[in-house]
Amino acid sequence: MADPIRARCDAADTLVAADEALARLHVAAGGTLPGVLAVPALLALVRQVRASGLAQTRPVLAMDGDCPISFHAHAAPEGDEVVLALRHWRRAPPPDEGLPAADPQALWHHLAEGHVLLDAEQRVIAADLAASDLADLAADLAGAIGRHWALCPALALGPGRLDTARLHWRLLDDMVIDVAGSARRWRLRLLPRVASGFDLLLLPETIDALPADPLLRPAAEASGAAEQTALPPWTGLLGRDLAPALRQPISRIIANAETIRSRLAGPLADAYGNYAADIAEAGRHLLGLVEDLADLDAVEAPGFAPSPDHIDLADCARRAAGILSMRARERGIVLALPDEACHAPAIGEFRRVLQVLLNLLSNAIRYTPAQATVTLACGVDGATAWIAVEDHGEGLTAEQAARVFEKFERLGRSGDGGSGLGLYISRRLARAMAGDLTVSSTPGHGARFVLTLPADLPSAGIVNAR
């Protein structure tokens, strides 16, 4: 999409010219072309600029139906008109100070193993499926250009295939399906594109057992053998059934609270705006807790084992830092990363390694003083690849370091939005991948968390930057 998106309003606040993206949003908000600018936050900005005679820039959150759109709007007077230039347009709320700023859509794109480009009627335009077990679906999609994606025979949608194709896209988003030729289950994410159409992403929903690898299997079994116990009959219920059902209503609560907080429906007393901000923050906390409990459900399931792959820990570090870079910048924290020449080949499941790193890096950013540095380093020592996240926070005592990986352990902290599950889940994931997660710390001098995994030995000649 062109950046910036440009538009002009006349002396009567009528939108007389606009690039396509803003014109679509204006019409979706109930406006006509030409007609009075229908996006409330933009209309208020245009009127302030006209009254003051001075150019202004501000972040704007608008709603396209139930979908938030954020951008930075620059408005400048030009005779009797006001000209607009909109930058950083994206279909996600802008980061609020003190709230997580990671873009979930960026993470979904990172984790997706299949990407299908759809038009506004969900008909296939193009497909890129990287996973080898999606070969049958790739072949189907290649012959399905111009047809609804749900009509592909490789998707196990049963006799209701035509009925599925008629559903609104919001009812198809987050669907879990089987795909011919794949032993895994897949979660579908439908992401509306600003210009029109959709991105259909395929994310692996289930975890395959590790192959019979003599290097990996004994360590994985040894780490999990002592932890496997008889589990209650409801194990798996949260991750399989409840979490998907809870995500949508909680997300809607957050979106509606943000709409109220941003005063998109009109003027609002400051106290009520603050109430809405509290609701949105509580919703994000609840959604994070649901995700943590779903992960806990998965890692404690019998026979849990991630799918090993050839990964580069240096690349994982750069991806995790990219996802959380906005949050770090808001606090003035510098993320020191391995340089581009550094590689640390390892064996592990990419999305699970990224999950661990995002947890470690989020904690480091949260507990490091503003204007400090968080360092990510990686390397290979013999048969072990490692990546470290080092912060400059308060650090841990020996007693705290011994407890920090326990379930629901928050070390006496309250009000920080944490569930006390992140590090417990991260260590379980590391050990399931035949590695480990450890911490070393000195009170007052920060903490250093180190994730270790089996090195990808055929590639291990390219390594080491600490």
Tokens of 388: 């470290």
Would you state the pLDDT for residue 461? 52
Indicate the pLDDT class of residue 460, thresholds 50, 70 and 90.
Answer: low
Would you state the pLDDT for residue 104? 57
With beta carbons less than 8 A apart as the criterion, state whether 73 and 60 touch. Answer: yes
* pLDDT at 161 exceeding the cut of 80: no
Mark residue 410 as left, alpha or beta (left: phi above 0; alpha: psi -120 to 50; beta: remaining): alpha
Would you state the pLDDT for residue 7? 92
Instruction: Give the CB-side neighbour count of residue 121, counting CA atoms within 13 A.
Output: 6
Instruction: Give the CB-side neighbour count of residue 356, counting CA atoms within 13 A.
Output: 33
Would you state the pLDDT for residue 275? 79
- DSSP bridge pairs for 36: 14
Query: Distance between CA 103 and CA 70 in Å, rounded?
Result: 12
Mark residue 64 as left, alpha or beta (left: phi above 0; alpha: psi -120 to 50; beta: remaining): beta
Cα angle 274, 99, 299 (rounded to 5 degrees) comes to 130
Out of 14-28, 194-208, 224-238, pick the least confident. Answer: 224-238
Q: Is pLDDT larger for residue 316 or for residue 278? A: 316
Would you state the pLDDT for residue 375? 94
Count of Cβ atoms closer than 10 Å to residue 460 Cβ: 19
Indicate the pLDDT class of residue 237, thresholds 50, 70 and 90.
Answer: low
* pLDDT at 374 exceeding the cut of 90: yes
How do residues 255-291 score in pLDDT, each as one tens digit?
Answer: 778 778 777 666 777 777 777 877 877 777 677 777 7
Tokens of 265: 């429906």
How do residues 165-207 score in pLDDT, each as one tens digit?
Answer: 777 777 777 777 888 888 888 888 888 875 568 888 888 865 3
What is the Cα Rg of the chain in Å? 24
With beta carbons less than 8 A apart as the criterion, state whether 54 and 77 touch. Answer: yes
Query: Distance between CA 158 and CA 404 in Å, rounded?
Result: 47
Indicate the pLDDT class of residue 238, thresholds 50, 70 and 90.
Answer: low
Closest C-alpha among 312, 390, 372 to residue 345 = 312
With beta carbons less than 8 A apart as the criterion, state whether 324 and 358 touch. Answer: yes
Instruction: Tell me the whole-structure pTM to 2 decimals.
Output: 0.49
Query: Distance between CA 237 and CA 82 in Å, rounded?
Result: 55
Based on the number of CB atoms within 10 Å of its own CB, is 24 exposed (0-12), middle (13-18) or buried (19 or more)? middle
Would you state the pLDDT for residue 207? 38
With beta carbons less than 8 A apart as the criterion, state whether 40 and 104 touch. Answer: no
Four-residue CA torsion sign, 464, 346, 288, 320: positive
According to the per-residue pLDDT averaged within each range, which of 78-82, 281-285, 318-322 is highest?
Answer: 78-82
